[in-house]
Amino acid sequence: MAEKAILYDATRCTACRGCQAACKQWNENDEFIPTVENGVQSVNRGSYENPPDLSPTTWLKMEFREVTPDGKVRWLFNRRSCMHCTDAGCVKVCPSGALYHHELGFVAYDKDICTGCGYCEDACPFDVPRYERNFVSGIAKMDKCTFCTTPGLDRIAGGWEPACVKTCPPDALQYGDRDQLVAEGKKRVEALIAKGWTNANLYGEKELGGLHVMYVLDDHPAVYGLPVDPQISAATIAWQDVIQPIGWVVGGLTILGLGFNYLVARANINREKEKKDAARS
């Protein structure tokens, strides 16, 4: 089965944020909006961006950057969300298996078995996962883009494209087979270079084994706030390859030890009982 992906063309994006609204609406992530009317003073942070960052109820956020090449002001727009890496640090460190690779390649998520450990947040080179703790129940849960595969809200299983792609007015977002989108992305990059955008590139074709959200950029990734060479930290690799296996071994040995202690204690109890019975007779 062909892997699926999203192609984001930053040169076509108008930053209308329709994708943000569609993501929230489809995934039922309505959130409290601070206004004077409901008793909270809204604050202008000196940016057109809203909200200020990703959160458990904001899985997709458009970022605005103002650059001044050759003294001329220019806006750059970047789509901030889960990149659905093939070599995904979040999947590597997730102890419960709540994060896993969908059969179509992207990183799916089963919130019901999330333990709220927060390891995924530390392991993500794109700083995407967000989690919060319910201070009444004490339960913590992580949230991020699910590629519109949340149970009961699964657009992909229904044969539909993700909500963000569906709503994009300028077709800056495309959904389809990853191989085809790689070819389309390269074609667009070649067209940009031919027009004089010599730094144009396709971001995500090979990064971290291949991302399932790829970007057509007209400048270096760093200019758009993206890591030039995203890497999974050594701590994450150590967790997966060393610490976690040792933990399982230690846990297994502990269980075996407790079981052995129980058997020994039980044998001693039976032996004492037999001695008492013999003494009575």
pLDDT in tens, 78-87: 999 999 999 9
Using pLDDT thresholds of 50, 70 and 90, give the confidence band for residue 234.
Answer: confident
Lowest-confidence segment of 27-41, 132-146, 225-239 by average pLDDT: 27-41
Instruction: Work out the number of other CB atoms within 10 angstroms of the CB of residue 203.
Output: 24
Higher pLDDT pick, 40 / 115: 115
pLDDT of res. 280: 63
List CB contacts of 89: < 8 A, sequence separation 6 or more: 120, 123, 124, 125, 232, 233, 236
Rounded mean pLDDT of 170-197? 98
pLDDT band per the 50, 70, 90 thresholds, residue 33: low
CATH class of 4-224: alpha beta
* Predicted pLDDT at 136: 72
Q: Distance between CA atoms of 190 and 183, rounded to whole angstroms?
A: 11
Q: Residue 201 — very low, low, confident or very high, per pLDDT cuts 50/70/90? A: very high
Average pLDDT (226-237) is 85
Distance between CA atoms of 89 and 91, rounded to whole angstroms? 5
Q: What are phi and psi of 61, to 5 degrees?
A: -145, 135
**pLDDT above 90 as % of the chain:** 66
Mean pLDDT calculated for residue range 1-6: 93
Q: Token match 């993700």: residue?
A: 162
Residue with tokens 């971001």: 203
Please list, in sequence order, all residues whose beta carbon lies within 8 angstroms of the beta carbon of residue 98, skipping any fewer than 6 positions away.
Answer: 109, 110, 111, 112, 113, 114, 115, 142
- The residues spanned by each domain of the chain are 4-224, 233-281
- Asked whether residue 205 carries a pLDDT value surpassing 60, the answer given is yes
Residue 34 pLDDT class (50, 70, 90 cuts): low
pLDDT value of residue 42:
64
Q: Are 215 and 79 in contact (CB under 8 A)?
A: yes
- 214 burial via Cβ count (<10 Å: 0-12, 13-18, 19+): buried
Of residues 126 and 246, which shows the higher confidence score? 126
Better-scored residue on pLDDT, 55 or 136: 55
280's CB contacts (< 8 A; 6+ apart) are none
pLDDT bracket for residue 186 (50, 70, 90):
very high
User: Average pLDDT in the 106-117 region?
Assistant: 94
Q: How high does pLDDT run on average in the chain?
A: 87
257 vs 196, 253, 265, 271, CA distance in Å? 69, 6, 12, 21
